[in-house]
Structure 1
Amino acid sequence: MNRATDGRETAAHPLVPRQRSAAAPSWADPDPVGRLAAQLGDCAAAAVHPDEIAAVLESDGLSDDQIRERYGVRNSFALAEELYARVPRHHPEPDAPPHDPWRIGLPACLLRGLLFALPGLAYVLGAPLLTGPPGALGLPPGTVPLLAGALFGWTWNQGLAHRAYAWLGLGERAAARRCLLVGAPVGALLGALVPPVFAGPADGAAVVFAAGQSCYLGASTTLLVLGRERALLAALTPLTAGALLALAHPVPDVIALTLLVGSLAAVMLLGLLCVAPAVRAPASGADAPAAAASLPYALFGLGSGALVLYAALGDVLAGREHGALAAPSAVALTLSMGPAEWLLYRFRSGSLAGLRTTGTPHAFRRATLRTGAECLTAYLLVLLALGLGATALWPDTPAPTAVRVADLLLLGVVLWTGLLLQSFGAVRGPAAVCCAAALAQTVALLTRPADPHAVALTVYATAAAVQALLVRTLLGRATAHR
């Protein structure tokens, strides 16, 4: 029925543009609220929570004054509660299988996880170039400036990626390219200026290496945001082959340097080619996303990145006590990001199914939390397998202890629940939790407690508990999934 030809619909009495019943059902009383309930039809019957009906009423332009005048209740939420209580729950089956936008293939996510891990092989090729006396805490030479540069890069590029994705969400691909064209080089320049602040007299090679690391992070972020994963994998192939060869047999420094520079140049060139069309594209007419909206995502990148680095440092320090130098926890966490991303999609798909199959807020919350627990359990099993596998394959690595395994799994809970909340836009909570946990780890590292593993266990357990509570509170509501 066309709104312009429906005699009952006037400017003074708008109706909600939703599916309507041809005749008033038996539960519709002959009063304004009953008539509105009949007009809403399946829309009100399928609502899992009154807030969904309130959103429909507000989208139709019903003001609180109009609602008080016509229906005798104080506002749209009170009217929605009345409609929710009056209309029996009913979920009509669709004629065709419902569309699920969250179904994604596992191989694509595994590829992204692999791309997060492969750049770590650059440290294998670059290790012979980073020579000198041990740095702070007895760490290998150049470790502190390299980690400082990596942390800045992760922070900057996490915020940059969010801003570019915001443009893509508006359908402004040219604006997203322009954002990356400006943001990636600026981030690379600033990232190259950070390591010298933390470098010592013998860390010159590490500062140069960190500058290349900053350039790589900006270019790879550009390729990942624009969906060029296969191109990035091809550019990293020489580096990967050289690093695997170096693990079995020493590679001459000249060849190692050539492979490092060659892969970096290839990634930067591909990134430049991806954003080059933005130079001639006309300026976007859409309002720019607020820059402040990307700050929590940058802080989440800082906090989560610091936690992963501290896990790596724990492995390095423990390994040095046994004459080894390894970071299997960081390798496992990085590789696990592929399965983690796929399980995030599985959660979104499961919550969408819960909206169709549950009829009350309590039932939906229970179904959603069950789906979340299943996905988290699957992720922890993958992370455990990767952690044990990396420890077994890494030469001369000490056997994992129960405390270190617990540290790894609790950190996995923190990261996966943080990514889950971030995927729903609820990023401020996990950003605060991860940054606070990273700060606590920093204090523990500087004060050198008697049992650093117990400190880490306490920090991770507390952060995991807080974020689990955030997931239950924020994602147990149906309105968060609409």
Structure 2
Amino acid sequence: MSGSLWLKPPITVNPLPAIPRPRGEKRATEPTADGPTADGPTADGLAVDPVDELAARLDDFVALAVHPDEIAALLESDGMTDDHIRLTYGRADSFALAEDLYARVERRHTAPEAPPAGPWHGELAGCLLRGLVFALPGLAYVLAAPLLAGEHGRFGLPGGTIPLLAGAVTGWVWNQALSHRAYTWLGLGDRPAAARALLTGAPAGALAGSAVAFAVAGPGEIPAALFAAGQSLYLAAATALLVLGRERALLLALLPLGGALPAFRWDLPDLLRGGLLLGSLTAAVAFAALVLRPGARRGAAGRAGPPRAASLPYGLFGLGSGLLVLHAGIGDTLVSGAGAVVALTLSMGPAEWLLHRFRGESLTRLRTLSTAREFRRAVTGTLVLCLGGYLTVLVGLTLVATLAWPGAPWPTLPRLVTLLLIGTVLWLGLLLQAFGAVASAAAVCLVAAAAQTVEPAAGPAATGGAAALLAVLTCVLLVRPTAHRA
């Protein structure tokens, strides 16, 4: 799995419009050379209500609002302080003024527009392609299994497992944070700077993952540590390709791993196994080097970038969600656990598409519904449908993985329920992350993963509690119209 498995491009939103001003307007309370002030008398001797004038100027925006909070956000973005609002409009604060404007302007909604092109409106085929490239690296473990077999395992796990897990988790955390930083540059329209961030950060992540793997390797686990180093290098290359939208190039690099399919039935020569692994890794690194060439140009990141601390929550979310997936992979048998991980990674493609659908449907409802109650009801229904659709896909993929994997046992009901709870946590966490609530999602995932690590028997309870808490956070946040406009 790549380091950007759990990170999706940030939502591209339209900023709040500027409040229109009459030509030549200075301050609302200052007279002009051409006539009275905004709240002075008119030609017929009647006083002009400044709220009526503001309502007329904001008519187009207020008519589309489904809740006064949207109007209050616009007023505050224009720099209107509570003191100014009290002196000029006679209302206590921006919220009181927004409620007055909301009541004075009739709701008018245009017909829904076709969804614009963008990261939240991708086609299903593209999302499925991402899910495929997330899952294909798992074939590398099938090819390398005979090469990594160790005699002495620790903590009840097969030999070599500890350095593999340590290197993978380090890579997920580092590359998740790196992906966010690169996506931020892309959101600013600076692709060379994004490439520069990846060019400097990806090799550092590969070194960190390799160093951690070798540091925790025990006697007889050096082959596993070497594989973990290659895994870290692959994660770095895959992160660069995925962030820059080169999924097809990554798929081509992963094609040699298709040689693992015969390994399910027959024993392959060690030389062939090693050649397929090195060929895929070399191709991924070569493709990444090609797409990162703009980052090597002078001045690619000449201006101050986004604060690095802003990417930390994304790395922590990658840590928490990655640990939950690892726990899903520790099944009653190695085969049953591997099937769960395959199902989860393949489901990330449909999960991304359903996130797109939720975003698109929410924006449509925002344009067509006239009250906040109608919007809350519609968004809640869309959320239930999308989450239910994802869990249905996850069950289907689990059954397909069970049928395709030789000797795989059918998942028991408790294992299936646990898998669905983990899927719920991942999908809701991704949704909250996409709407900017990444710190909350990361905290919930980390607590659940920590509880399951300390006491494996508490796994279902911890995951179920995390799923319930994320569901509450999602409903509280996303039923508000302002969450979809800002």
TM-score normalised to structure 1 length = 0.89
Residue type matched to 1:308 in 2? Answer: V
Would you say 1:319 and 2:333 are equivalent positions? yes
Structure-2 separation of matches of 1:283 and 1:139 = 46
1:214 aligns with 2:232: yes
Q: Structure 2 vs 1, CA of residues 392 and 283 (structure 1 numbering), >3 Å: closer, same or farther?
A: closer
Provide the residue aligned with 2:179 in structure 1: 161
Task: Note the 1:202-351 alignment, pairs <5 A.
Answer: 202-240=220-258, 242-313=259-330, 315=331, 318-319=332-333, 327-351=338-362
Q: Deviations over 1:134-184 (max 9, x none)?
A: 412432220111011101100100000000000110011111011000000
2:12 corresponding residue in structure 1: none
Shift in alpha-carbon separation, 1:393–1:98, aligned structure 2, 3 A: closer
Question: 2:204 maps to which residue?
Answer: 186
Q: For residue 458 of structure 1, what is the amino acid of its counterpart?
A: A
More RCO (CA 8 Å, sep 6+): 2
Aligned match of 1:417 in 425, 428, 440? Answer: 428
Quickly say closer, same or farther: Cα 1:175–1:363, change in 2 above 3 A. same
How far off is 1:75 after superposition?
2.5
The number of aligned residues is: 449
Task: Name the Cα RMSD after superposition.
Answer: 2.0
Q: Which moved more, 1:190-199 or 1:55-64?
A: 55-64
Partner of 1:50: 68
| Whole-angstrom CA distance in 2 between matches of 1:6 and 1:227 | 44
- Write the letter of the residue equivalent to 2:285: M
CA 1:97/1:160 → structure 2, altered by over 3 Å: closer, same or farther?
Answer: closer
The letter of the residue matching 1:256 is R
Confirm or deny: 8 A CA contact 2:115 2:121 kept in the other structure: no
Stretch moving more, 52-61 or 400-409: 52-61
Runs of 5+ in structure 1 lacking a partner? 15-28, 446-451
Q: Does 1:63 align with 2:81?
A: yes
Which has the higher mean CA deviation after the structures are superposed, 68-77 or 115-124?
68-77
Q: Alignment partner for residue 434 of structure 1, among 417, 436, 445? A: 445
Task: Give the drift of 1:5.
Answer: 10
Pick from 88, 99, 103 the counterpart of residue 106 of structure 2: 88
The alpha carbon displacement at 1:283 in A equals 4.3
Quick check: 1:364 aligned with 2:375?
yes
Structure 2 residue aligned with 1:19: none
Q: 1:458 to 1:97 in 2, by over 3 A?
A: closer
Counterpart of 1:12, as a letter, is R
Matches of 1:72 and 1:89, distance apart in 2 = 24
Letter in 1 for 2:483: A
Q: 1:204 to 1:351 in 2, by over 3 A?
A: same
Cα deviation, residue 280, structure 1: 1.8
Q: Is the 8 A contact 2:110 2:368 kept in 1?
A: no
Match of residue 166, structure 2, among 124, 134, 148: 148
Q: Secondary structure at the match of 2:121?
A: coil
Q: Which runs of 5+ in 2 are unaligned?
A: 1-18, 30-46
Q: CA deviation at 1:66?
A: 2.6
Which of 96, 114, 117 is equivalent to 2:135? Answer: 117
Shift of 1:249: 1.9
Question: How far apart are the structure 2 equivalents of 1:458 and 1:147?
Answer: 24
The answer to whether structure 1 residue 12 and structure 2 residue 27 are counterparts is: yes
Taking the aligned partners of 1:419 and 1:311, their CA distance within structure 2 comes to: 18
- Over 3 Å counting, the alpha-carbon distance change for 1:5 and 1:152 in structure 2 is closer
Decide which of 474, 478, 481 is 2:481's aligned counterpart. Answer: 478
Secondary structure of 1:113 counterpart: helix
**CA distance, structure 2, for counterparts of residue 443 and residue 183 of structure 1:** 32
Distance 1:100-1:368 versus aligned 2 partners, 3 A rule: farther
**How far is the alpha carbon of 1:39 from its aligned partner?**
2.3
In structure 2, C-alpha distance between the alignment counterparts of 1:364 and 1:140, rounded to whole Å: 52
* CA–CA separation in structure 2 for the residues paired with 1:477 and 1:339: 25
1:44-76 CA distance string (max 9 Å, x none): 121111121123223444333332211011322
State the alpha-carbon separation in 2 of the partners of residues 347 and 258 from structure 1.
Answer: 43
State whether residues 158 and 297 of structure 1, in contact with CA within 8 Å, keep that contact through their aligned partners in structure 2. yes
Superposed displacement of residue 389, structure 1: 1.6
Aligned residue for 1:138, secondary structure, equals coil
Counterpart of 2:469, as a letter, is V
Matched letter for residue 445 of structure 2: C
What residue is the counterpart of 2:465 in the other structure? 462
Looking at structure 2, the residues matched to 140 and 265 of structure 1 have their Cα atoms a distance apart, in angstroms, of 28
- TM-score w.r.t. the length of structure 2 is 0.88
